[in-house]
A and B are shown apart, each in its own frame.
Chain A
Amino acid sequence: MAQVSSISNEQTSPTSKLITLRISRFNPEHDESSGFMEFSVSYEKWTTVLEAILDVKKHHDHSVGVRYSCRQATCGSCGMIINGKPRLACFTKISELNSDVVTVEPMNNFPIIRDLAVKFEKLFDTHQKIKPYLIRDDTEIESNEKEFLQSPEEVEQYIQFANCIKCGLCNSACPTMATDSSFVGPQALAQAYRYVADSRDKGKDSRLKIIDDSHGIWRCHFAGSCSQVCPKGVDPAMGIQLLRGYMLGFRS
């Protein structure tokens, strides 16, 4: 019986158009400074920037350094600067950029490993620092007899912040991050709020203490850029202000 064949990315249909893809190239071990390489790639209305980059990697230059995995905006691998703004490559369609030239660069405020791939150690460390887990009596946590009850309304209080995929786009957009290498950053602060707002958690005070530092929560000036670039609707700016509300005594 005939099987219907696969969908191959290389299909070029009459509807496909061309753009120039400019990829920033830099290997800190060997290069003095970064430069751009230009490729002409065809795209369909659904083609994402990640697909275009991988197309280049497959057919033009195998050495493009780029991080990717899920290709569906859930793993947080593919953050980069696309036409000047931090975005997920797999969640940005070329057609929605309305431009004949698509420029991709590594995310700002992260050290470059190579080309488009950047180091995340700092983000992981700060994330760990804000104690991103439920804090309450150990025996309660380790017993698995009964669930902790939690109403849908209580879930609503934190679920938004739990959507964070640790892509780092917010940290790349934040103006404080642009100059302050010790700032906790919106990603971790939003996660601090995620756990503080969880009705099952009792670790509020210890978390507040951690972020009450000269490079802690106070270095956020509500610029909001973090929320504007977040691909998952996390709205770190909101979480941070709500968290600060606790510290200023507006909320308890």
Chain B
Amino acid sequence: MSKDEHREGIKGMANPTRYGIERVAYWLMRLSGLGLLAYFVGHIYETSNILRGQVGWNEFLELTQTTEGHLVLAIVIAMCVFHTVNGIRVMLGHGGIGVGKPARPDYPYEPASQNYRHKIGIYSAILLAAIAMMYGLAVMFGE
């Protein structure tokens, strides 16, 4: 990216402030997507330890079944729930569902696509993610 294009760059792309909850959702979606991918790769590696037999598996389990490991897992749960719920919302949106109907705009213009349905979708994705994370923490630390 050449400097004289005056693009906002990654900082601008990744800055979730300024533009309301939809932009926050965009940002969380990216982050959770990448996070999940990272976890997923790790997870595949983790499970491959089963090939090393009971000893190897347990060795590895010990590594992950720590407080830090549980915290990471809790975050993964949250990311997964958010990414899934918001993913469904985004897919509906991308299909043109729930984004409002075209109509003559009246001043002051309030974009119909930034509507309460999608906002509720985003908030519930965040909420569900939080609940799931709590639940996960409870399960993991409860024992």
Which chain A residues have a beta carbon within 8 Å of chain B's beta carbons?
28, 84-85, 106, 108-112, 118, 156-161, 163, 173, 175-179, 181, 197, 221-225, 227-235, 237-239, 241-246, 248, 250-251
Contacts and interface: CB of A to CB of B under 8 A. Distances in A.
Contact of A228 (B1, B19, B26): B19
Contact of B114 (A112, A176, A178, A227): A227
Interface of B: 1, 4-10, 12-14, 18-20, 22-23, 25-26, 29-30, 90, 93-97, 99-100, 102-107, 109-114
Contacts of B103: 156, 160
Contacts of A176: 13
Given A28-B4, A110-B6, A224-B23, 7 more contacts: A85-B19, A108-B7, A111-B4, A175-B12, A178-B7, A242-B99, A244-B95
Most B-side CB within 10 Å, residue of A84, A109, A230, A232: A109
A237 B96 CA distance: 10
B111 A238 contact: yes
B26 A222 contact: yes
B10 to A, nearest CB: 6
Contact of A230 (B10, B25, B111): B111
Most B-side CB within 10 Å, residue of A108, A161, A163: A108
Nearest to B106: A233
Contacts, number: 150
Nearest to B114: A224
Contact of A177 (B4, B7, B106): B7
A84 to B, nearest CB: 6
A228 B19 CA distance: 7
A160 B26 contact: no
B7 A181 contact: yes
A223 B109 contact: no
B114 A156 contact: no
B95 A250 contact: yes
A222 B90 CA distance: 7
A237 B108 CA distance: 17
A250 B5 contact: no
Nearest to A163: B105
A235 B100 contact: yes
B109 A230 contact: yes
A177 B29 CA distance: 17
A39 B95 CA distance: 49
B99 A156 contact: no
Contact of A233 (B25, B95, B111): B111
B109 A181 contact: no
A181 B1 contact: yes
Contact of B19 (A225, A238, A244): A225
A232 B109 contact: yes
Nearest to A235: B111
Contact of B102 (A118, A173, A224, A242): A242
Given A108-B8, A227-B113, A245-B95, A235 B22 contact: no
Nearest to A173: B19
B125 to A, nearest CB: 13
21 contacts: A85-B18, A108-B7, A110-B5, A156-B104, A160-B102, A173-B19, A175-B12, A178-B9, A179-B1, A181-B5, A222-B94, A223-B23, A225-B22, A233-B105, A233-B110, A234-B105, A235-B109, A237-B99, A241-B113, A245-B97, A246-B96
